Structure 1
Amino acid sequence: MSFLSLTNIQKSFGPVQVVKNFNMDIEKGEFVSFLGPSGCGKTTVLRMIAGFENPTGGNLTIAGKDIAPLKPNQRNIGMVFQAYALFPNMTVHDNVAFGLKIAGKPKAEIDARVKEMLALIHLGHLADRYPYQMSGGQQQRVALARALAAKPQVLLLDEPLSALDAKIRVSLREEIRQIQQSLGITTIFVTHDQEEALSISDRIVVMNGGRADQIGTPFEIYNTPATRFVASFVGTLNMIEAKVVDPAVNRIQIGDQGVTLKQSVAAYKAGDTVSLALRPEAGSLAESTPSDTKLTGQVVSAHFLGSVIRTRMNVGGNVISFDMFNSPGVTPPAAGETVTLRFMAADLLVIRD
């Protein structure tokens, strides 16, 4: 049996339904990210688990126990907010100790637990400082220690890194993952940053319009998107329109060029339009590239992005981007030049709406 279960969870604010039949089973010790744009319902689901919002319908259980009737302080759940929410008039030590004091724990036990938590986040030397004397990354680590101090069953993280600069975000997300793994605590991480979700999650829930469009591992979400939304939201993607020529042999046509897919198009009829997805990193201009498929077109533009050069080409009205490694000895193709893009047919995915 799963540790945390969400069954047919729904939430409406007046006539607006913001979460629609959300279902998920989360295992003990699993790190799950809710990924999606603003307004998709991911934070609302998190707040219902925490007890800050009541579901309009559905069931929530932790270790088989129905938590819906419980108040937030009765659920044994730790939460870290985007805005830190530290008490400005308390030291680091007292912020971390706050929940334990409210629970009536003995002073000796509180001091030992705070020391343990501050050692875990490598801030033991700053126990007597106040939040205003610390950087944003340090404050967020203190908020994490405070959430973990009471030994919660579940840890909830609501976009905890969005207020930090890019370099600190990367180091802190890695630290959060290491701490989560060392403690074995079941964790839900809400983010709109796909790189964050892909880099640290056991599984990802891609949310769209109050629903879970797809639930899967980072590898599954990136490489085999289940819907057009997932395909377009996670990573950079080419969306290509093609005509079905012979569904029996998976033969399609992009512009005036024929391609045989690995994926079945048997559900379509000859003449139907089909949407295909291709990642920019899947193709190459090099003749030595392992490939079984190629498309020829005219270069539209080439943009320098540091380690790669993203080139765009027109194939039968479809503008397809592909990435070339930046090499001083290789000149990128110029606009108007005819080039041939080589790739594996298995990388060309059929996307159903």
Structure 2
Amino acid sequence: MSFLVLQNIKKSFGQTQVVKDFNMSIEKGEFVSFLGPSGCGKTTVLRMIAGFETPSDGAIVVNGKNQNKLKTNQRNIGMVFQAYALFPNMTVFDNVAFGLKIAGKPKEEIGARVKEMLKLISLDHLAERYPYQMSGGQQQRVALARALAPKPQVLLLDEPLSALDAKIRVSLREEIRQIQRQLGITTVFVTHDQEEALSISDRIVVMNAGRADQIGTPSEIYNRPATRFVASFVGTLNIIDATVVDPAANSVKMGDNLVTLREPIGGLKAGDKVSIALRPEAGSTLATAAGDTVLTGTVISSHFLGSVIRTKLDIGGNPISFDMFNSPDVVLPQAGETLSLRFMASDLLLVRE
């Protein structure tokens, strides 16, 4: 049986339903990210797991035990907030020790556990400092240690990195993932940052308007988006308008280009309008590039982005972006130039609503 199970969870505030029939099973030791825009319900689901909100319907089960009627302090769940939420009048040591003291643990056990946690986050040399004497990244590591100190069965992180600058955010997310793996703790991480979710998760839940649009591994979410929302929200993706030519042959027309899809298009008929997705990194303009499919169009613009050059083509009225790696002798495509983009037919995805 899965360790953390969310069964038909619903949550309404007045007449507004913010979480709609949410279902998920999370394995012990798994790192799962809830990814989505503001207002999609991801933090509300997290708060229901923690006990800060009560589901309007459905059940939350941890290790076989229904949590719905348990108070927050009875659930043995650790939580890290976006705004650190450290006690400003307490030292680092006392902040980390707080949950253990509330639980009535012996002084010797508290001391040993706090030292263990501070060593885990590499801040044992700052035990006597106060939060205001520390950087944002250091404060968030202390908040993580405080959440982990009572040995919770589940760790919840509510956008813990969003207040930090980009460089610190990257290093701290890697540190959080390393600590999570080391402890083997079941973790739910809420973020609106797709790069964060893709880089550290075992699985991702892409949420949209209170529902889970897709649940899958980072590779599945990125390479095989299940809905138009997931396709547009995760990564940069071209959405191309096309017309079905022959459903039996899986052929569609994009502008003046006739293309055969690898994905079956059953249920559609000739003349139907469809949306086709293509990642910018999938194609190449090199004549020697491998590919069984070609789209030809006119260059709209080309931008130097450092490691890559992003070019936009007009293909039958569709603006299509594609990326190529930078090199010292590369020549940027010029506006008005005609280019042929080569790629594999398997790179084209039929996007269903």
Q: TM-score, normalised by structure 2?
A: 1.00
Give, as a single letter, the amino acid of the residue that structure 1 aligns with 2:338.
Answer: T
CA distance in 1, matches of 2:267, 2:307: 41
Which residue is equivalent to 2:311? 311
Which residue is equivalent to 2:106? 106
CA distance in 2, matches of 1:251, 1:204: 32
Equivalent residue of 1:24, what SS?
Answer: strand
Q: CA deviation at 1:266?
A: 2.0
Which residue is equivalent to 1:207? 207
Taking every aligned residue pair, what percent have the same amino acid on both sides? Answer: 78
Which residue is equivalent to 1:15? 15
CA distance in 1, matches of 2:257, 2:117: 61
Which residue is equivalent to 2:147? 147
Query: CA-to-partner distance for each residue in 1:190-244, whole Å, 9 max, x for gaps?
Result: 0000000000000000000000000000000000000000000000000000010
Which residue is equivalent to 2:321? 321
CA distance in 1, matches of 2:178, 2:330: 40
CA distance in 2, matches of 1:97, 1:103: 10
Give yes or no for the alignment of 1:95 onto 2:73: no
The root-mean-square deviation of aligned C-alpha atoms, in Å, is 0.4
Q: CA deviation at 1:97?
A: 0.2
Which residue is equivalent to 2:65? 65
Give, as a single letter, the amino acid of the residue that structure 2 aligns with 1:220.
Answer: E
CA distance in 1, matches of 2:330, 2:29: 47
Q: CA deviation at 1:316?
A: 0.5
Give, as a single letter, the amino acid of the residue that structure 1 aligns with 2:27.
Answer: E
Which residue is equivalent to 1:41? 41
Which residue is equivalent to 1:218? 218
Query: CA-to-partner distance for each residue in 1:166-206, whole Å, 9 max, x for gaps?
Result: 00000000000000000000000000000000000000000
Query: Unaligned stretches of 5+ in structure 1?
Result: none
Q: TM-score, normalised by structure 1?
A: 1.00
Which residue is equivalent to 1:274? 274
Which residue is equivalent to 1:302? 302
CA distance in 2, matches of 1:138, 1:60: 33
Query: CA-to-partner distance for each residue in 1:15-53, whole Å, 9 max, x for gaps?
Result: 000000000000000000000000000000000000000
Q: CA deviation at 1:303?
A: 1.1
Which residue is equivalent to 1:172? 172
Give, as a single letter, the amino acid of the residue that structure 1 aligns with 2:316.
Answer: G
Which residue is equivalent to 1:238? 238
Query: Unaligned stretches of 5+ in structure 2?
Result: none
> After superposition, where does 1:114-125 map in structure 2 within 5 Å?
114-125=114-125
Aligned residues: 353
Give, as a single letter, the amino acid of the residue that structure 2 aligns with 1:154.
Answer: V
